[in-house]
Amino acid sequence: MNSQTLKRQIVSRAGFLWSNRDIAFAHRLQIAASPRMGRAAMRYLRRNCLEASCAEPHFRLSGKSIYFMPGYPVYDRERLLHGISQVLVETYLMPELFHRKVTAERGDVVLDLGGNIGTTALLFAQRVGPSGRVYAFEPIVHELCEKNVRRNGADNVSVVPCGVGDRNTRVEFEVSDFCIDSCVTGANARATAQAATAGTTRPARKVQAELVRLDDWMRTVDLPRVDLIKMDIEGAEESAIRGARDLIARFRPKWSISSYHYDFSGEPQHPKLVKLLTKFGYQTAEVEQRHIFAW
């Protein structure tokens, strides 16, 4: 472990220890002291925040009720719970969505690309307030995303039941019990191959969904501004940015991108995205090879 990684881990653990007031200090201390803090936090959620005996199972966290059962059949509920608890940790307990140069402010318009079950949309909704607006793009579990948004009273969120790419088309998505790794068939080829080699289950079901080009969608909505785009779309990040040239030229949004995915050819997205964003004139900050902030 190099010194930079060690420093980042220390800062992360200290930040977690002194934040997250919904969690008792003793539990925070226990999680922060764990060698694998993320997994310890996921176990905490399963033990203390999961209301599984209800007619509609959900997690209670940060004053929100997060429902997680997707509309398609789930064969391995344990795997689903693992995926959802990971989402909750990454959104509420150990978030890496923001940077000192890239954040959401009151009144901002935010595009949440890869809205999944709606946790990040709810977080953005709280940050931008009633005068702001959040558009959550989710092609697969958009009904679940909509449910979480409405039941938690986020009236400033609109759910767009589409994925994002460099053209408007209908494509086939692979979905799995994990729920957070749905991708266009053939995308993330290397990750799929690695999972198969390791004997883990990757998507066994396929569904049809729409992709939209942001430049075209922008014109139909008549947006006054776009301040921040968060993107976590399983290997389609580069094509989504290429489909937003006019939006970038008009609004110059900031970006928060999960960049650790592989593209259709099995190549890592991270270096390609840094190069592309630099070409568009952005300054970037990288968190190892897994997240990019651009402004």
β-bridge pairing 157-160 and 169-175: unpaired
In what side-by-side order are the strands of the sheet with 64-67? 50-51, 58-61, 64-67
Q: Show me where the domains of the chain are located.
A: 3-93, 109-294
Of the CA atoms within 13 Å of residue 128, those in its CB half-sphere come to 26
Residue 203 has pLDDT above 80, yes or no: no
Is 291 in contact with 258 (CB distance < 8 Å)? Answer: yes
Q: What is the pLDDT of residues 43-97, one digit of tens each?
A: 999 999 999 999 999 999 989 999 999 988 889 999 999 999 999 999 999 988 9
CATH code for 109-294?
Answer: 3.40.50.150
Q: What is the pLDDT of residues 205-221, one digit of tens each?
A: 888 999 999 999 999 99
C-alpha span between 57 and 41 (Å, rounded): 19
Q: What is the pLDDT of residue 185?
A: 67
Residue 1 has pLDDT above 70, yes or no: no
Q: Model confidence at 196, in pLDDT bands (50, 70, 90)?
A: very low
State mean pLDDT over 154-163: 97
C-alpha span between 75 and 223 (Å, rounded): 41
Q: What is the pTM of this model?
A: 0.90
State mean pLDDT over 155-179: 93
In the chain, the percentage of residues whose pLDDT exceeds 70 is: 92
**Radius of gyration of the CA atoms of the chain, in A:** 18
Q: What is the pLDDT of residue 182?
A: 74
Of the CA atoms within 13 Å of residue 276, those in its CB half-sphere come to 20
Instruction: Give the residue, 195 or 272, on which the prediction is more confident.
Output: 272
From the list 229, 288, 238, the residue with the least C-alpha distance to 263 is: 238
Q: What is the pLDDT of residues 84-138, one digit of tens each?
A: 999 999 999 998 899 999 999 999 999 999 999 999 999 999 999 999 999 999 9
Q: Model confidence at 198, in pLDDT bands (50, 70, 90)?
A: very low
Q: What is the pLDDT of residue 22?
A: 81
Angle between helices 25-32 and 37-48 (to 10 degrees): 150
- Average pLDDT along the chain: 90
Q: What is the 3-state secondary structure (H, E, C) of 96-130?
A: CCCECCECCCCCCEEEEECCCCCHHHHHHHHHHCC
